[in-house]
Amino acid sequence: MKTVTHAARKIAILGATGSIGASTLDVVAQHPERFTVTALAANRQWERLLEMVACFRPQFAALLDPDAARELASAVRREGLPTRVLSGAEGLCEAATLPEVDTVVAAIVGGAGLAPTMAAARAGKRILLANKETLVLAGGMFMAAVREGGATLLPIDSEHNAIFQCLPAGYAGVPEKGGVRRILLTASGGPFRATPVGELVSVTPDQACAHPRWRMGRKISVDSATMMNKGLEVIEAHWLFGAAREQIEVVIHPESIVHSLVEYVDGSVLAQLGNPDMRTPIAQALAWPERIAAGVAPLDLAQIGSLHFAVPDAARFPCLELACAALVAGGSAPATLSAANEEAVAAFLERGIGFLNIAGVCAEALARLPARPIASLADALEADRAGRALARQLLGRQAVAV
């Protein structure tokens, strides 16, 4: 049998020191003949990035924080590593558009990931997207950049990757033409799925961060507990798959085995199943349209025994409906919501406000900042800035009352 050889994909990982970056590097390390790490980028964790640089020896490394970049550059020189260090927002954008790179893993958390991901789209790269803010802050503009730049967009959030796998081959972003009736996003329900609503007022940060299925950072764990993460995923699904709000539904699935589903007009429902491990969607996107091993244990349905599904409780998860309302409002509303949520979650983690106040801050920010058009990157970043400023003002007032 003739052995098929592949030209190694040259990868830039934006957000290398986060959980997505670590999972990506784990998959890449299993297939050195298929992937070369050409650039690694992060925010400010230069010592952690140095470890990765020493292991994978990329041509480039970038840090958003200039002081951290200087520390990394000194350490790279001291250890004689063959890596050029880039710095600041410009350095991140350069890492995302290098001629030496064909695949960009966009996993920088927050608004800092918007500009380099947009730059990668305009440069026609193959983009593995994990940065929520790119679609939440500037979904229409980003999708236009993907089309105009000739980029290939592959989602690696587990839910959106599952939908991607369940859609028909050659899907062109028009549900009706693909025979798609509905997209169903699954949600674990977080740690408070069955907690009496009256008890949520006393929830602590440690309780909110104790996710029953996934190991995540503290901010995203709180977003899972409020289901704000799922609301933002509804917004992302709208842009990724061309689905209207009424074509996207959320269903609680506590086992986190069914990662999402697509319902067709003939009554068929296709689902993607797997153990809850981010290496699965990452490996799928890295090798697409082929398949490679991800190092994930096989799924044993007999051992699992049963799967459960339920409709989300609106009283328990008001953030979900807030996100859906922001999608309908359009323009800057999703950016306002995302920014206000980040500030409110940070305040909660610092014990400045209660768990239930997160939704209140977000609702008031949406009410007080009318939606405006997003026509440029500056518009998106200004909407984010305004949302944060108002949320901080609201939190300053609220912190006294809590």
pLDDT tens-place string over residues 189-199: 988 888 888 89
CB 246 within 8 Å of CB 257: no
CATH level 2 (architecture), domain 9-155: 3-Layer(aba) Sandwich (3.40)
pLDDT tens-place string over residues 339-367: 999 999 999 999 999 999 999 999 999 99
pLDDT tens-place string over residues 85-110: 999 999 999 999 999 999 999 999 88
CA distances from 322 to 102, 212, 227, 381 (A): 37, 24, 10, 21
Rounded Cα gap, residues 69 and 42, in angstroms? 10
Rounded Cα gap, residues 260 and 114, in angstroms? 25
Banded model confidence at residue 170, pLDDT cuts 50, 70, 90: confident
Mean pLDDT of the chain: 94
Q: Which of 175, 125, 176 is nearest to 154 (CA)?
A: 125
Q: Which of 39, 13, 11, 17 is nearest to 287 (CA)?
A: 11
330-394 to CATH, choices 3.50.50.60, 3.40.1550.10, 1.10.1740.10, 3.30.70.3400: 1.10.1740.10
∠ Cα 70 74 75 (to 5°): 115
Reply yes or no: is the peptide bond before residue 289 cis, omega within 30 of 0: yes
For residue 40, the cross-strand partners are: 13, 61
Q: Please give the average per-residue pLDDT across 235-260, as a whole number.
A: 97
pLDDT tens-place string over residues 137-163: 999 999 999 999 999 999 999 999 999
Q: Quick one: pLDDT at residue 317?
A: 94
Rounded Cα gap, residues 297 and 176, in angstroms? 36
What residue ranges do the domains of the chain occupy? 9-155, 157-317, 330-394
Q: Quick one: pLDDT at residue 401?
A: 42
What are the φ/ψ torsions at residue 356 (nearest 5 degrees)?
-70, -20
Query: What sections of 204-332 are H helices per DSSP?
Result: 205-208, 218-226, 228-241, 279-287, 301-304, 318-329
Neighbours of 152 (CB within 10 A): 16
CB 274 within 8 Å of CB 257: yes
N residues, the chain: 402
